[in-house]
Structure 1
């Protein structure tokens, strides 16, 4: 294999993250080779890429051989894959099946780390997902017009500790809280589904806390928020979205904040200090 150092690969899921990366990479003088997942990746990603290969979830051997043919020596994981599809829509080839059988835990981090290791054994380095896109990291402080009340701050602090705990177990990245009671924990269904479930139980004024997992690998699966997160919270008359600053992604920030202010939702970027206290 001859590596073309102008070429960078993307293993793309859904959402706009791959599109934003392609634009930034092109501005940096790179050509972008995209592995697109059928039923997940936006067609616009394929149109924006310099070349594209459509695969089904689990076709790891095809990914590796195509990247090698295109001279790709480094890649990034970008965009979401609907996690429930691992129970119904995976079409593993021999390479993926061999890898799958070696993984003791089938949780997110374990799977992604195993795939990254397999790629790197083939001399395809896996880079941080924020490469070229540092400006998308969630900022610290109150982003909304409305500020958190004393009671909401207490819920944020309570939820923070519980979100950290589920992160250590690689279950999910967010919890939904009301009056210092956890009403929902994110698992395989994703953040929006957890917000809907927790919001219905809370009835109103739910506080959503979303943090990175301890030891989060910046190469994949960073927490992400956007307009849809706010719309979902508004549907259940939720009150607060608190996200770990510098460790999560924020998409369409201006539109997101307009939606939050219309709904009267507090949005804050939170930093955990070495002594465990929170700043925002």
Structure 2
């Protein structure tokens, strides 16, 4: 492993990677890993969304307001970025209240036929790539934090929980195909919550309260998922929310789900008696 990292570091010396950062821990974890591999990281961060701590983990950072698309491209090009990743989300509720689109963002919006997440992100990526900046898959440089198949915690799901997992897995695929969300909450083969604009934690909290304990949380990719952005990601905060509503199982998609702060996340789950599994 050390040899592999050294070879990767040598190959990437002097290279710069752009980071278009949303909220959560994902951008910080990516920046730390990219620098460990020898990359210089230039970040474009969103005010009110991106954790200010990111500034201490990157070589350059540019702060923009949501919707300042022209400024985003100018920042990346000004830093000589030729490859970039898009990591972390933007709260959909903020889109309705805080977006101040510039001329370029308005021009992009006019081209969209459907205002769905994937449509918007694909068009954003296309516009950036037209400027000579390649958008890489979200898993770029993140070997070791993808969810693997099987049970990751000490506790295995019960037979009853497995029934809820499989039911939620099938329903999750259907809501994903409709571009609604990536997460469903199940209890006794009843869908008690579907992720919408409130995000995963909000859906877990709402579903867990309705279930009165023992809820199963299933989070998976949409069938049409573009691997360049918005891969399902969970971390310690997810487990904390599950514990607060006495949810019992978290099922994630193996090979395509992201486990942030892995050791801390699994340790919290073990202490709370929550099972985490990777599904295919």
Give the shorter-chain TM-score range: over 0.9
Taking structure 1 as the reference length, what is the TM-score of the superposition?
0.92
Contact 2:14 2:38 in 1 (8 A): no
Moved segments of 4+, more than 4 Å: none
Contact 1:5 1:73 in 2 (8 A): no
> Aligned with 1:215: secondary structure?
coil
- Report the alpha carbon displacement of residue 199 of structure 1 after superposing the two structures with TM: 0.9
Given the alignment, which residue of 192, 206, 209 partners 2:215?
Answer: 206
Per the alignment, residue 100 of structure 2 pairs with: 91
- Report the alpha carbon displacement of residue 110 of structure 1 after superposing the two structures with TM: 1.1
Given the alignment, which residue of 128, 133, 151 partners 2:142?
Answer: 133
Per the alignment, residue 273 of structure 2 pairs with: 264
Distance, in Å, in 2 between the alignment partners of 1:73 and 1:148 is: 45
1:57 is aligned to 2:66: yes
Distance, in Å, in 2 between the alignment partners of 1:253 and 1:31 is: 24
- Report the alpha carbon displacement of residue 29 of structure 1 after superposing the two structures with TM: 2.4
Distance, in Å, in 1 between the alignment partners of 2:30 and 2:243 is: 29
Per the alignment, residue 158 of structure 1 pairs with: 167
Contact 1:186 1:194 in 2 (8 A): yes
Consecutive unaligned residues in structure 1, runs of 5 or more: 272-280
Greater displacement, 42-51 / 81-90: 42-51
> Aligned with 1:36: secondary structure?
strand
Q: How does 1:178-189 map to 2 (within 5 A)?
A: 178-189=187-198
- Report the alpha carbon displacement of residue 234 of structure 1 after superposing the two structures with TM: 1.0
Consecutive unaligned residues in structure 2, runs of 5 or more: 1-12
Aligned residue-pair number: 268
Per the alignment, residue 171 of structure 1 pairs with: 180
Contact 1:155 1:177 in 2 (8 A): yes
